[in-house]
């Protein structure tokens, strides 16, 4: 259509003819130019999470204190599997050697309407360097405990490991 002139016909003699000719010439150049060299497509690496529901995970904050997360669910999508957790109301300079009782309170997220859940994306996981420790303790959770029924809005905050310390500070007043 560019070569036989039918592509410019509707603009012929009009105020936009020069602009249209320039656009068509650029398109012709692109069509006639050689194809770019093939580029390698990066292998897609899916996020993984092998934590179990009710499992306790200790996280060492930048100041050296530990806090304890309780695994609630695994969020699975095309990017992989991510842990959905809540933060137990416990903090200490060392790991809780005997775990924590099932009755340990859960901290509320500040400025989030009383929500408790958060999902951690694996972005920035390399910054962790031995700061996560599985405690080999599993709390028994009722089947419906903190589960969001299908079709309901999921009130889960989302944070990356890279921003996790900042998240603890702003959302739970932990520094």
Domain tally for the chain? 2
pTM: 0.72
Q: Give yes or no: residues 104 and 20 share one domain.
A: no
The model's confidence at residue 92, banded by pLDDT at 50, 70 and 90, is very high
Full residue range of the structural domain in which residue 25 is found: 1-39
pLDDT of 68 above 90: yes
Per-residue pLDDT tens over the stretch 107-132: 988 876 667 889 999 876 777 878 99
pLDDT of 66 above 70: yes
Residue 117's closest CA among 81, 159, 155, 163?
155
The model's confidence at residue 19, banded by pLDDT at 50, 70 and 90, is very high
The model's confidence at residue 54, banded by pLDDT at 50, 70 and 90, is very high
DSSP string, 11-35: GTTSTTHHHHHHHHHHHHHHHHSPP
Q: Give yes or no: residues 85 and 20 share one domain.
A: no
Residue 146's closest CA among 57, 70, 72?
72
End-to-end CA distance of the chain: 66
> In this predicted structure, what is the pLDDT of residue 90?
94
Whether 146 and 156 have beta carbons less than 8 Å apart is answered as no
Q: Give yes or no: residues 117 and 168 share one domain.
A: yes
Does residue 46 form part of some domain? Answer: no
Does residue 49 form part of some domain? Answer: no
> In this predicted structure, what is the pLDDT of residue 118?
92
């Amino acid at each position: 259509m560019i070569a036989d002139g039918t592509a410019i016909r509707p603009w012929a003699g009009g105020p936009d003819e020069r602009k249209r000719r320039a656009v068509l010439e650029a398109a012709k150049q692109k069509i006639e130019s050689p194809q770019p060299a093939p580029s390698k497509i990066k292998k897609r690496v899916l996020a993984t999470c092998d934590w179990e529901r009710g499992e306790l995970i200790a996280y060492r904050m930048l100041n050296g204190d530990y806090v304890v997360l309780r695994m609630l669910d695994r969020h699975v999508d095309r990017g992989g599997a991510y842990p959905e957790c809540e933060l137990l109301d416990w903090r200490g300079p060392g790991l809780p050697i005997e775990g924590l009782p099932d009755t340990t309170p859960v901290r509320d997220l500040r400025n989030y309407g009383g929500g408790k859940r958060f999902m951690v994306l694996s972005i920035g996981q390399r910054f962790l360097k031995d700061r996560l420790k599985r405690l080999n303790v599993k709390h028994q959770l009722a089947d419906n405990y903190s589960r969001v029924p299908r079709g309901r809005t999921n009130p889960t905050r989302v944070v990356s490991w890279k921003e996790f310390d900042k998240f603890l500070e702003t959302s739970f007043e932990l520094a």
